[in-house]
Amino acid sequence: MTIKAKADTASLLEDTTVTGNLLTNDTGTFALKWIKYGNTSKLVGSTTTIDGLYGTLTVYADGSYSYTADLAKAEALAAGAVVTERFGYTANDQLGNTSSSTLTFTITGVNDNPVISIGSGDSAGANLTETNATLTAAGNLTVTDVDTSDTVSSTVTKAVLTGATGGLVEADVKGLLTLTPATGLAANAGDSHNLGWQFNSGSQAFDFLGQGQVLTIAYTISVSDGHGGSATQQINVTITGTNDAPVASADAYAAEAGVQLNVSVAQGVLANDHDAEGSALHAVLISGPSHGTLHLLDDGSFDYTAAAGYTGPDSFTYEAFDGAAYSAATAVTLSVTSGNTPPVAANDSYNVTAGTDFSVVRAGGVLANDSDADGNPLEAVLQTGPANGSLTLDSDGSFIYTAVAGFTGTDSFTYKAFDGTAYSNTATVSLVVSSPNAIPVASDDVYSLNAGSTLTKSAANGVLANDSDADNNVLQAVLLVGPSKGTLALNADGSFTYTPIAGFTGTDSFTYRAFDGHDYSAAASAELTVNAIPTPTTVVFQDGLNGYAATLDTTLDQAKPTTSFGSDIAVSVDKADAGVANAKQALLGFDNLFGSGPGQIPVGATITSATLTLQTNNESASAANGAFYRMLVDWTESATWNSMVGGVQANGVEALSVADVTVGQTALGPTTVDVTASLRAWATAGTTAAELNAANQGWLISTGSTDAWRFDSSEGSVHPKLAVTYLIGTSSMPVLGISDAAQTEGPGANITFHLSLDHAASQDIPISYSIIDGTATVANDLLGPATGIVTISAGQTSLDLALTLKDDTFTENTESFSLKLNSANGAFIAENTATGTIYDNDPNPVIQASVVAVTDLTTAPFRDVDAAGAGIGDPSGLAYDPVSHKLFIADSEHDERPWFSQTNLFSIGPTGATQGYSLESFTFEPTGLGINPSNGHMYISDDDQLEVFWVDPANPTVKLGSFDTASLGQDDSEDLRFDPTTGHIFELDGHQKLMYELTGDGALVRTINLPSVMHDAEALAYDPTHGIFFVASGLSPNIWEMDQAGDIISTISVLNSPAYTNPITGVAVRPKGLELAPSSDPNDGQQMSLYVADYGVDQVADGRLFEIHLGSDWLLS
């Protein structure tokens, strides 16, 4: 056999080792003879080692080798940097013939942590003595990073205070220490003193420290290379206190002449003084008052008596003493005043009717709004009388005024208030003299409502709204005669509610008068028309139902332009693929809809709703499967692409240019389409049945998607069905509808619902509504009440109802609620419920990941409940059951044959108790777990059988049901999770890099493409509060935070550290299961943790469970 050495290749990460055999792929080789790197060649003995540029290669005569990439050049590689290194080798056969080839290694750099060191000239602390001035200190540290392309950022992460803290907390001092530079530090090998720190306290920051008291602030700083590598260092700042003199503040007191002023300790001179160290203070008199006697006590209380007859300012000075130092001398001001305070008189104004005597009693007189600080009784003393009338003013403030004949306008008089000792200021009393009152005018009103409802009118629309008063006086409604056919509550402002008696229709009325405070209007009538509510009728058109046989449908196929498909069992809609003429259009119609026969829609009927139901027989994930355009030309089932002249054009000639309705994603089974707009258009297209039926040419159905949609034709299994609901005799009563609304939350944001009438009413239409909580609730998401009344004014056809949203500050998923129309007086409600959708405006929370616990799953608690005694060697899926508070762990490979031990599911209870279960009766390889919150069942995926099973977590060994995933197109069914809001399942397919969203029974909703970095994604967790996923692959220690569109938000790399290398097998963490569940520490309250199942090496008992805290934003929902 001819000897032939062939090239070998291998790949590895920096600081790891790869092994292999050079002769495995060679032909006719017997032994390895030479190994070469560059200009260095070595004869291979039993063990031969040769260094490359990045690593060391060890080879053996039998061709086996191991290579470790740990030389300096490899260590300097940045994370993700890729280099190659090539060795040459020569092999010989048993005859001595030789052949040479190469061995090439591809090395990928991994991140190396930066290092903080304290070298000569560096410092990690300072000792300071407290003064009133700013305390400063500075120093340097040395930071290096062997990854030459990395730059390092630095930050102060923590400050711990010990000793005399004076009530300071971390937030008060953390910002006093700064680092330079904060970013962009090269940190190359050989650099020194390259990270500076500076401490700056500001003035008097630590005055609270007493003589000799010590405060130590232990700062922790962290440097990060931006790739998950970091290092920390502590910097200690120690501050020793000195005594500070107390600070005394000036005081002021009011004293009354002839009365001793007694001031307690609480109001004394020391009450507003302070000492930084909190020492007890003593008052020491420096100079006494000049105009009185003073007794000042040590505790700051004092008494003072002014000299006889003295009024005016006086003062004394004192110092505060803390036992060691005195404050500056401080003045105490004393204001000595006489006893009585003059009264204060306020101006007054009155309205007077000309030609009458205007009389005001004491309670409403001129003294009613005057005051006296001493509480003395007051008397009114006239100063100047009125110029245009006569006045009698009594001392108690009451008076009588009469304007001169014929005078109108403003008159006035002045007075002072007297308290028996002093007079007030002069006050003016204005008298506005007007002509006699005009009688108000009340106009008749007309209202209408539906039988069985309540009519509610606000003041703006009440009986006084069209009444008037020439003097612009405020009017009040006064009931004269109530209604005879119902109950009435009439309010003074003209608003009212009226409820007719049960079963009454016709005209009712009541009468009232308008009162302006002086006179009554003539009687006015309010007419109430109670309308009978018509009963809606629904007719259904479907071939074979009630003798109907007039459905027309066909497909226009661009690829077969001359072929008619009118007799096919299915109708198709498709957009032409790029460069291919294979578009499909559908034509669908229902003839003879209008007429007077049984099951037809009468001429003049008001259409309230119309629903078309089609049986979809191939589902489509497209968001634009079909647009329904009303046809404008006649067609038959024999129509072809060519006979319709290149298909039907939505151009306003062959079909309308704007679709009446569009259809989004379709699933197998019934697809419903709201075609109310089409039926209303046809029903109002003429005055005879012939005209209406002629207007009805059915629909053109086309699409902008290449994801085809197909549904059963009238020759298929389930015929197209059209259900129409209409009213008769409602031409005078408009039909009310409401549309859905959507809004992103934010400051002052409103979500607006559009209410519309099919025609304007001659009177106001009050509409009562209520909000029905969904995932969005009134309490949490909306400002204002859950119910309300709005009014579409007479002559108007629409109204925008705006509800104000609350702007919260936490991230959450898209939410929705319903707005229901409860009643509409004077209108028929066709659509009474609309959906409001609220989009979040808050950024995703920042993850601050830290490992808080690592559990070896092969220790005694797990071995003891495993039939094979090995524990959980290869953990995969995780699921937390909120009912039993157990964390379930699947073992997907340890239990495969021929090593099957029967125990392939385990649980950890809230007290740490473990339990093992055998799922042998239905699965040997449980790969994913998830709890369905709606029924409490645990769902289990199996990537061998491509099946999803569900069980009761209390008895998981018994299968309750299942569905297959192969029919969905999956070939690698991995971990799964439930969305509690929708009840949908999210399931990974690692091989296809897809996430499937399924209904609870396994029907496809949509797929999400996973980012390319997620090789063989196998682990999944879902946070419904924030609407985000956590995804991991068994090929990387990283965990990715991902949004609903499949985009990566952030990467959690905390497990990508040598500290978490598997101690049994020496491999990095291999996540194959994730779950969000309560923290294992009962002191964490509502804190959630991310649990990670570390699979380790296949068929080796090396499984582990990590618990990661994500930060304060992750709380139990």
Residue pLDDT, tens place only, 702-724:
988 777 889 999 999 999 999 99
Q: Are 1065 and 1102 in contact (CB under 8 A)?
A: yes
Say whether pLDDT at 242 is over 50: yes
The whole-angstrom separation of Cα 527 and Cα 643 is 62
**CA-to-CA distance for 1063 and 276, rounded, in angstroms?**
56
pLDDT band of residue 810 (cuts 50, 70, 90) is confident
Query: Both tokens of residue 558?
Result: 């661009």
If you average pLDDT over residues 583-606, what whole number do you get? 93
Q: Is the peptide bond prior to 898 cis by the omega test (within 30 degrees of 0)? A: yes
Average pLDDT rounded to a whole number, residues 185-191: 84
Predicted pLDDT of residue 396: 96
Window from 302-306, 454-458, 584-588 with minimum mean pLDDT: 454-458
pLDDT at 766 over 50: yes
How confident is the model at residue 625, as a pLDDT? 63
Name the phi and psi angles at 399, rounded to 5: -160, 165
For residue 594, what is the DSSP state?
A: B
Average of per-residue pLDDT across 149-176: 91
- Binning pLDDT at 50, 70 and 90, where does residue 842 land? confident
Give the mean model confidence (pLDDT) for residues 256-275.
Answer: 91
Over residues 282-300, mean pLDDT: 95
Burial of residue 981, with CB atoms counted within 10 A of its CB: 0-12 exposed, 13-18 middle, 19 or more buried: middle
Model confidence at 412: pLDDT above 70? yes
Q: How do residues 776-793 score in pLDDT, each as one tens digit?
A: 899 989 988 899 999 999
pLDDT band with cut points at 50, 70 and 90 for residue 730: low
Q: What is the pLDDT of residue 893?
A: 66
Question: Distance between terminal CA atoms of the chain?
Answer: 72
Lowest mean pLDDT across 75-84, 180-189, 621-630, 815-824: 621-630
The pLDDT assigned to 515 comes to 97
Q: CB–CB of 18/12 below 8 Å?
A: yes
Asked if pLDDT for residue 1023 goes beyond 80, the answer is yes
> pTM, whole model, 2 decimals?
0.42
Quick one: pLDDT band at residue 897, thresholds 50, 70, 90?
very low
Confidence band, pLDDT 50/70/90 cuts, at residue 900? low
Please report the pLDDT score of residue 775 as a whole number: 84
- Is residue 270 scored above 90 in pLDDT? yes
Alpha carbons within 13 angstroms on the beta-carbon side of residue 125 total 13
- Confidence check: pLDDT of 78 > 90: no
Question: Which of 52-61, 323-332, 574-583, 671-680 has the weakest average pLDDT?
Answer: 574-583
The SS3 assignment for 677 reads helix
Q: Are 871 and 863 spatial neighbours (Cβ–Cβ below 8 Å)? A: yes
Mean pLDDT of the region 871-876: 90
pLDDT at position 233 over 90: yes
* pLDDT at residue 366 tops 50: yes
- Rg of the chain in Å (alpha carbons): 45
In angstroms, the CA 570 to CA 709 distance is 10
Average of per-residue pLDDT values in the chain = 91
Residue 623, pLDDT score: 43
Edge-first strand listing for the sheet containing 524-531: 445-450, 524-531, 506-515, 476-481
pLDDT of 436 reads: 83
529: left (phi over 0), alpha (psi -120 to 50) or beta: beta
Q: Please report which confidence band the pLDDT of residue 895 belongs to, taking 50, 70 and 90 as the band edges.
A: very low
Beta strands in 505-645 (DSSP E): 506-515, 524-531, 537-541, 551-557, 570-573, 584-590, 606-618, 626-630
Tell me the average pLDDT across 981-1006: 91
Strand 905-908, strand 1004-1009: pairing: unpaired
What is the spatial distance between Cα 967 and Cα 964, in angstroms, rounded to a whole number?
7
74 DSSP 8-state letter: H
- Give me the percent of the chain exceeding a pLDDT of 90: 68
Q: Strand ranges (DSSP E) for 123-213?
A: 125-129, 136-144, 153-163, 177-180, 195-200
Whether residue 745 has pLDDT greater than 70 = yes
State the pLDDT confidence band at 492, using cuts at 50, 70 and 90. very high
Is 70 exceeded by the pLDDT of residue 1031?
A: yes
Q: Give mean pLDDT, residues 1055-1068.
A: 93
What percentage of the chain carries pLDDT values higher than 70? 98
From the list 730, 737, 746, 832, the residue with the least C-alpha distance to 781 is: 746
Per-residue pLDDT at 278: 82
Q: Is residue 651 packed enough to be buried (19+ CB in 10 Å), middle (13-18) or exposed (0-12)?
A: exposed
